[in-house]
Structure 1
Amino acid sequence: MNQITDRTAEEVQEAARSVVLAVADHITATNPTDALEHANLLVCVGAEAYLLADRSYNGKGQAISKVAMALVPELTEGTTRGEFALILRRAVPRADWGDDADERVIPVFPHPRTEPVPDERPTVPVQPTEVNG
Structure 2
Amino acid sequence: MPNCTDLNALDVEAVAPLVLSAVAEHFTVTNPTDVLESANLLICVGAEAFRLVDRRPGGEAQALAKHVMTLMPELHEGITRGEYALHVRALLPSAGHDWPDGPNDPAIPRITGIPAPRKDPKPSVPTQPSGPKAVTV
- Secondary structure of the structure 2 residue equivalent to 1:61: helix
Number of residue pairs aligned between Structure 1 and Structure 2: 97
The Cα of 1:67 is off from its aligned counterpart by 1.1
Partner in structure 1 of residue 17 of structure 2: 17
Equivalences for residues 9-88 of structure 1 within 5 A: 11-88=11-88
| Distance in 1 (alpha carbons) for counterparts of 2:97 and 2:33 | 31
Partner in structure 1 of residue 96 of structure 2: 95
Tell me the alpha carbon deviations over residues 67-119 of structure 1, each in whole angstroms, 9 at most, x when there is no partner.
1111101100100000000000002324254xxx9xxxx8xxxxxxxxxxxxx
Q: Specify whether residues 12 and 76 from structure 1 end up closer, same or farther in structure 2 by C-alpha distance, changes over 3 A only.
A: same
| Distance in 2 (alpha carbons) for counterparts of 1:96 and 1:20 | 10
Does the Cα contact within 8 Å between 2:17 and 2:97 map onto a contact in 1? no
Identity of aligned residues (%): 49
TM-score normalised to the size of structure 2? 0.62
| Distance in 2 (alpha carbons) for counterparts of 1:63 and 1:94 | 17
Letter of the structure 1 residue corresponding to residue 51 of structure 2: L
TM-score normalised to the size of structure 1? 0.64
- Secondary structure of the structure 1 residue equivalent to 2:12: helix
Q: Which runs of 4+ in 1 moved over 3 A?
A: none
Letter of the structure 2 residue corresponding to residue 32 of structure 1: P
Partner in structure 2 of residue 2 of structure 1: 7
